[in-house]
Amino acid sequence: MSKKKLNVGIIGYGFMGRTHSNAFRTVNNFFDLEYEPVLKAVCARDGAKAKAFAAQWGYESVETDWKKLIARKDIDLIDIASPNNTHAEIAFAAAAAGKMILCEKPLAMNGAQAEAMVKAVEKAKTPNMVWYNYRRVPAVTLAKQLIGEGRLGRIFHYRAKFLQDWTISKDLPQGGAGLWRLDAKVAGSGVTGDLLAHCIDTALWLNGSIDKVTAMTETFVKERKHTLTGKVEKVGIDDASAFLARFSNGSLATFESTRYARGHKALYTFEINGEHASIFWDLHDLHRLQYFDHRDEGLTRGWRSLHITDSDHPYMKNWWVPGLQIGYEHTFIHQVADFLRGLQDGAPAGPSFRDGLATDYVTDAVLKSAKSGRWEKVKQLRKR
């Protein structure tokens, strides 16, 4: 059967530009779908580098101005893989042009901007999604399934952290290529919007909405040279962020993130403790889900380390044979597969821009609480 072509125009050829391009290229080899992404154009400001990227990944053309990309009639889908301060403006223009939009996380610089983005895509009735890819690690998807089946019973605790160690040196500059995450004007916030946003999206998905939070943040290195101005400038991002939260289902949570945990590169973990069972997941061992069920027979009761590679595990029948694991890049392939299936079935897959807004509401409350020193209520999504 011939596939329906979906012409993709991607903005940004950095880290995410590569993960997304790989997903668009590979998805139809492993998933049987009506739609087929076509790598139509890559857009970035440096034309020569964009050309080299296009040649390496198989894009048919290059643009250096995203407005021109959006104006093109032969583009169906705009994929925003550029820094956070560019997301809103590009999404507004893409929605106005009636394009489908995939946008990197965090959706926006703050909740107010994200609200406007949700309004724009919902007014345009255009398919939209945010790249919170960790939902599609098979072990994490299985955690969702186990919770949905009620295996954990009432949830008491949610515990998440995301630890890195790459900004400890005070000689590291801020701003510009590769270091825009340290510049608050481009990133919006530090680890709260960059790393905790992932933990929050997963938590909202697995455990429902968060009512209120109390937080502390710290900026350990207060001034850094700015790559673009050459001047030493104040650092506006949070280097570390930790918060307590109360979920609407009555469970209590702790979240912690830092780029100052020496020895940790991308240690995203979560543990959920329920009345009957607990689960634990660790990005460094992403194909495993640790599961403890109190209802097991006493003598052999204990933590089970489930190897999520069987064909009845989420997504795994599309890959190799049982026992052989997959990795990080596959989460993006799964996300594209679900997005395309959503188009085909008319049942959009999440996380939508609306879901991305819910996470931005939580990060807003975290940053507000860190300033006020008080518990802050989390704004809730209004019904459509």
Ligand X SMILES: NC(=O)c1ccc[n+]([C@@H]2O[C@H](COP(=O)([O-])OP(=O)(O)OC[C@H]3O[C@@H](n4cnc5c(N)ncnc54)[C@H](O)[C@@H]3O)[C@@H](O)[C@H]2O)c1
Binding site residues, ligand X, CB under 6 A: 11-17, 43-45, 66, 81-84, 86, 104-105, 131, 133, 177-178, 194
Backbone φ, ψ for residue 156 (5° rounding): -100, -40
Minimal distance in Å, beta carbon 43 to ligand X? 5
Can you tell me which residue has the tokens 């597969």? 337
Nearer Cβ to ligand X (39/277): 39
Peptide bond into 138 cis (omega under 30): no
Residues 6+ apart with CB under 8 A from 217: 190, 192, 238, 240, 241, 242, 366, 367, 370
Contact call for residues 153 and 278 (beta carbons, < 8 A): no
* C-beta atoms surrounding 139 within 10 Å: 24
Minimal distance in Å, beta carbon 227 to ligand X? 12
Minimal distance in Å, beta carbon 294 to ligand X? 34
Report the distance separating Cα 127 and Cα 118, nearest Å: 11
Nearer Cβ to ligand X (152/184): 184
Minimal distance in Å, beta carbon 13 to ligand X? 4
Nearer Cβ to ligand X (15/166): 15
Nearer Cβ to ligand X (147/186): 186
Q: Residue 243's beta-bridge partner residues?
A: 215, 255
Minimal distance in Å, beta carbon 152 to ligand X? 26
Sign of the CA dihedral running 69, 349, 6, 133? positive
Report the distance separating Cα 282 and Cα 302, nearest Å: 18
Minimal distance in Å, beta carbon 207 to ligand X? 20
Nearer Cβ to ligand X (138/274): 138
Nearer Cβ to ligand X (82/309): 82
Q: Residue 271's beta-bridge partner residues?
A: 159, 280
Nearer Cβ to ligand X (189/214): 189
Contact call for residues 83 and 16 (beta carbons, < 8 A): no
Minimal distance in Å, beta carbon 17 to ligand X? 6
- By beta-carbon distance, which residue lies closest to ligand X? 14
Rounded to 5°, angle at Cα 309 from 324 and 256: 110
